[in-house]
């Protein structure tokens, strides 16, 4: 178990550019979540996948944001035409789905810090 | 709806002091409750959890008891260390739900 891995750890880009982040979950975990965290706040839910299916998206996820999880393994989060307000830490988490109400914890990666110039 | 409210920070304590960080929640049904810790530049790490009323989660000297009657899950530690300095997040997962709901975090600084 190598934990949840995110790449890159830091990304600095100019406003208007596109960026893509990658998340590799714990291998046996079939659920994968993306969160956004700004300074002094808790993680805010963006979207989640059950295997390769994207089952829920937050209203925070504008049409400039897209996430994929091909083959139910790693996931990517892309932000198009970045804006200043996109500057944040983007966290990925995975968990095992053992059925309804299974009470499993989420396991987090170290995040990708995005800075928009 | 589902939400978590944590006490405002930052909290500054001397080494070996007693720690309490308050957390109350609103949830539909019977949620599971969690405390996570975040060190600078890192992601969140699970500290402890409780899955039903009156359960006590514990880890590394930290404890929290699931109190259904007061909808609370306060974090406590009898004697804090400098290494406990971090941000602590209370979270809930509704029974049968798909999302986690996090509080805004409480920053703890322990001074020698």
- Contact of A105 with chain B, judged by CB distance below 8 Å, is answered with yes
Nearest-CA distance B9 → chain A (Å): 10
Tell me whether residues B89 and A42 touch, CB distance under 8 A: yes
Tell me whether residues A42 and B102 touch, CB distance under 8 A: yes
Q: Which two tokens stand for residue B56?
A: 């006590």
Q: Which two tokens stand for residue B68?
A: 């259904």
- The pLDDT of residue A100 is 61
DSSP string, A32-92: EEEEEE-TTS--EEEEEEETTEEEEE-TT--TTEEEE-GGGS-EEEEE-S--GGG-EEEEE
Nearest-CA distance B68 → chain A (Å): 16
DSSP string, B40-84: TTS-EEEEEEE-STT-EEEETTEEEE-BTTTTB--EEESS--GGG
- Contact of B102 with chain A, judged by CB distance below 8 Å, is answered with yes
Q: With contact defined as beta carbons under 8 Å apart, do B25 and B72 qualify?
A: yes
CB atoms within 10 A of CB B82: 11
Tell me whether residues A43 and B104 touch, CB distance under 8 A: no
pLDDT in tens, chain A (117 residues): 579 999 999 999 999 999 999 999 999 899 999 999 998 899 999 999 999 999 989 988 889 999 999 988 999 999 999 999 999 999 999 998 766 656 788 999 999 999 999
């Amino acid at each position: 178990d190598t934990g949840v891995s995110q790449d890159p750890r830091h990304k600095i880009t100019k406003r208007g550019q596109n960026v893509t982040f990658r998340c590799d979950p714990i291998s046996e975990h079939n659920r994968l979540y993306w969160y956004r965290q700004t300074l002094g706040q808790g993680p805010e839910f963006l979207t989640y996948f059950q295997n390769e299916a994207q089952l829920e998206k937050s209203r925070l996820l504008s049409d400039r944001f897209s996430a994929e999880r091909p083959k139910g393994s790693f996931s990517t989060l892309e932000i198009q035409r970045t804006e200043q307000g996109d500057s944040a830490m983007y966290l990925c988490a995975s968990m095992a789905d053992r059925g309804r109400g299974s009470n499993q914890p989420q396991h987090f990666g170290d995040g990708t810090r995005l800075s928009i110039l | 709806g589902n939400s978590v409210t944590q006490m405002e920070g930052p909290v500054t304590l001397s080494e070996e002091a007693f720690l309490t960080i308050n957390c109350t929640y609103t949830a539909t049904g019977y949620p599971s409750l969690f405390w996570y810790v975040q060190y600078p530049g890192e992601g969140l790490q699970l500290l402890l959890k409780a899955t039903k009323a009156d359960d006590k989660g514990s880890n590394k000297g930290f404890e929290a008891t699931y109190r259904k009657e007061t909808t609370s899950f306060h974090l406590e530690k009898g004697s804090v260390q400098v290494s406990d300095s971090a941000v602590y997040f209370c979270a809930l997962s509704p029974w049968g739900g798909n999302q986690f709901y996090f509080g805004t975090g409480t920053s703890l600084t322990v001074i020698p």
